[in-house]
Amino acid sequence: MAPFDLDACIQQLLRKQLLHEALLREICTKTKEVLMRESNVVHVSSPVTVVGDIHGQFYDLIEIFRIGGFAPNTNYLFSASDYVDRGLFSVETISLLTCLKLRYPDRVQLIRGNHESRAVTQNYGFYTECMRKYGSSHAWTYFTDMFDFLTLSVVIDDRVFCVHGGLSPSIHSIDQIKVLDRFREIPPDGPIADLVWSDPDAEKEDFAISPRGAGYTFGSGVVHKFLEINQMSHILRAHQLCMEGYTSLFDGHLSTVWCVQSSPYCRYRCGNSASILEVGPGGSMYFNVFEAAPENDRDGPSQQAAQSANGKLPEYFL
C-alpha cells in the first residue's frame, strides 16, 4: 500500500467521514509499533489536559478539542479510555484518536480501559457498529488487536498516577506495573483487570469485592498507602459517571473525571455535566466543566432512530 497522508486522514475524520478499511489496517499496524515502544507506565510532564470516558460520543470529543485546544498545541492524556461502545460513533471516535496518537505520539497518550477488549466490545456495541459500517468484522479486529498494545497507566510530573479504573491488591508499587505482560486481551482477573475495572469506595478503608464482578472496590487506607509508597500526591481515574462532571475523594487525594456529557448510560437523558482536567506545573489542577456538543441535538439517537427502518435504536444503544 502506498504511504498515506495522515494529516488528510485526520481532516477527513474531523468531518466524521469514515476511512477506508484497508487504510484503517495500515494505521492500526503502525500505531501498534508506536505503542509497543511505550512502557506500562508512561511518564509525562505538565501541562497536560486529562480526558475521561468518551464511549463513542464523537461530537463530545470534538467539543473537548474546541475547549481544550487541538493537538499538538495541547498535550492530551486520555486517562479514562473507554473510547468505544454505547455511543453512536465509536468507529469515528477511535479512528480519530488512533490517527492523532500516530501523528503526535508524544503529545497524545492513550490508556487502556475495560472496554478496550474483545469480550466487552462484542456485547456493548463496537463490534456491531463495525459490522454495520464496514460490512465485516475486519475493522473491529484491527482495533481490538491494537488495544492489546495500549499502555496501562501514566504518571504526570512524578506525582499524579493516572489509570482507568483503580488500584489492585496485587500492586503496591509502580515498578510492579512496569513488569506486567500487557500485550494481550484483558484477563478476567488479576492486576491488569484490577487496573481497568476497580472503583474507589468512600465508605471503605481496604479492598472489597466489586459489584461489577471484576476488579475491586478500594478505600482511603489503600489510596494513602499507595501514594506514600510511591511518593506521589494524587490518583486520577475515570470509569464512573459523575453527575457534576468530576468527583474528589479521600481528602482530595483521588479524583474521577467524566467527559461524556450526553450520557449514553442514561439514554442520553441523564442530565449529567462533563469535564476535562487541566493539570499545570506546580501541582495546579482545574476541572473545566462543559455542556454537551450542540451537534448531539442534530445527529443524536433521536435522529438516528428516525432514519432507521423500524424507528427503533439498536438494542445496545438502549
Q: Is position 115 annotated as part of the catalytic site?
A: yes
Alpha helices for the chain (secondary structure H): 6-14, 21-36, 58-68, 90-103, 118-121, 126-134, 138-147, 174-178, 191-197, 220-230, 301-307
**Distance (Å, rounded) from C-alpha 249 to C-alpha 254?**
5
Q: Which H or E element spans position 254?
A: strand 254-257
Q: How many CB atoms lie within 10 A of CB 271?
A: 10
Catalytic residue, chosen from 55, 115, 234, 239, is 115
Backbone angles phi, psi at 197, to 5 degrees: -110, -25
Identify the DSSP state of 111: B
**Distance (Å, rounded) from C-alpha 23 to C-alpha 3?**
10
C-beta separation of 67 from 50 below 8 A: no
Kindly report whether the peptide bond that precedes residue 188 is cis, defined as omega within 30 degrees of 0.
Answer: no
Longest dimension (CA), the chain: 57
- Reference 200, options 245, 255, 124; nearest CA is 255
Cα separations (Å) of 185 from 130, 151, 190?
A: 19, 13, 12
Which residues are the active-site residues? 115
